Amino acid sequence: MSLEDHLDALLAPASPAQATPPEITRPAAAAPKGWEPGVRWEPDGAMLVTAPAAEPPPQDEAGWRARVEELGLAVPDGYRVRLVEARHDPAAWHRDAQGEDAVTRPVWRCRYLVEPTVPGWSSAEDLSALVRDVMRRRRKPRTPGAESGRALAVVYADPQVGKVGRDGGTKELVGRVAERFDRLQDHLRDLAQIGRAPDTAYWLDAGDCIEGFENVASQAFTNDLTLTQMVRLHRRLTFEGLDRLASTFPRVVAATCGSNHARVRRGKDAVGPPQDDWGIEVMSQIADAYAKNTDAYGHVSFVMPEPWRDTVSLDMAGTIVGLAHGHQYSRPDKAGDWWRAQTFGRQPIADARILVSGHYHHFRTQQLGAGRLWVQAPTLDNGSDWWAMRSGEVSQPGLLVFSVTSQGWDDLRIL
């Protein structure tokens, strides 16, 4: 070919096939974000492999291993391949072979994990290193203000004022209650020293404030106070306890519930609605008195059951706490069943995460459901001798206290 012929060939227009190479005539669309083919190394030595779009994934490890090895990756000894994610793309660009046009057809996008056959800490040496590293970890300093608030619950349960028993009568009861109030001050000092001082106090009267005369015939001969004296003494003891809290906390909430000993009765039969209760009446009297002196008690509020109800719930620092006496169920083991039924019936304690009860004169706690807690409070009375003779069980008196935050409870003690 002459020089002129070569020059003509170079200057001549190129054919369509030469002007646009087949492999870029119709470029394939990019993979969706996050599904770009590649390999990511995991901290434990595993590899997360995102494969290019392809046919449906194999159904066994041999096929998964072959798919990974097609990408030029070698699976080390002691490792296995596992399909961890597969997505069907019904309208993806796909090229069957180099040099062919890209076409639209369904494809699968898959991720495979190349991981050790056994965990990395299976050996004694690795397990020791794991334990050592975890135990050397230091927790982060607590950030001030991480909690929305911290509330103190003081459970005043079953004093049964006027009752005479193995532990004495009215004189001994007053001395016992006064001592527990002093221990409460010590408890508050302890909380302050460890940086968990509450900013709000809740007085939870769990019922049976007086012994009464009408529940059983023997009550007429085992009391050392008249009915009006019982009510008067309970009011003064409650006033003393609330006064100590009111002088310590910027906010105090006092709550009570209906009970059996304090219920207005004729014989064993209740008279009137559930709120016809001496404990509720005494709390109402104190609320009236505090309302006359807002300078000293304006930061104290009161919660009592709604009409035709005998339980209450309170929002304590972001946690709902329910208060019930406990006479609604026949024995302590039935508390969980009764609480569940109350939830189905949308009763006042339906949303409570913590349920506080009295009535059974001994301390008990039980976790129920998903993160719920039942707390059975000890008694403050002079002893239940009839129960001790019947069962051999002897209740130990005490004032139950615990703290509540939006995360739950802590610092539970019996004073």
For residue 100, the model assigns a pLDDT of 61
Q: What is the model's pLDDT at position 287?
A: 96
Where do you find CATH 3.60.21 in the chain?
151-414
Record: fold of 151-414: Purple Acid Phosphatase; chain A, domain 2 (3.60.21)
Cα end-to-end span (Å), the chain? 114
Question: Distance (Å, rounded) from C-alpha 260 to C-alpha 258?
Answer: 7
Average pLDDT over residues 204-212: 93
217 compared with 322, residue with greater pLDDT: 322
pLDDT surpassing 80 at residue 58: yes
Q: Determine the residue type at 169.
A: G
pLDDT beyond 70 at 123: no
Q: Side-chain half-sphere of 379: how many Cα atoms within 13 Å?
A: 23
| H-only helix segments in 20-166 | 61-69, 124-136
Give the Å distances, CA to CA, from 296 to 197, 234, 244, 249, 292.
22, 21, 12, 12, 9
- C-alpha 350/C-alpha 313 separation (Å) is 9
What would the pLDDT profile of 188-206 be if each residue is shown by its tens digit? 999 999 999 999 999 999 9
Q: What is the pLDDT of residue 388?
A: 74
Top-confidence residue, 34 or 40 = 40
pTM exceeding the 0.95 threshold for the entire prediction = no
291 vs 132, which has greater pLDDT? 291
DSSP 3-state assignment of 189?
Answer: helix
More confident of the two residues 169 and 116 = 169
Radius of gyration of the chain (CA): 37
How high is the mean pLDDT of the chain?
85
- pLDDT, tens digit, 9 for 90 and up, residues 279-303: 999 999 999 999 999 999 999 999 9
> Quick one: pLDDT at residue 99?
59
For residue 167, the one-letter residue type is D
Q: What is the pLDDT of residues 348-397, one digit of tens each?
A: 999 999 999 999 999 999 999 989 999 999 999 988 876 677 777 778 89
| Whether 51 contacts 67, CB under 8 Å | yes
Residue 398: pLDDT over 80: yes
* CB 215, CB 260: distance < 8 Å: yes
DSSP 382-398: S--HHHHHHHS--PPP-
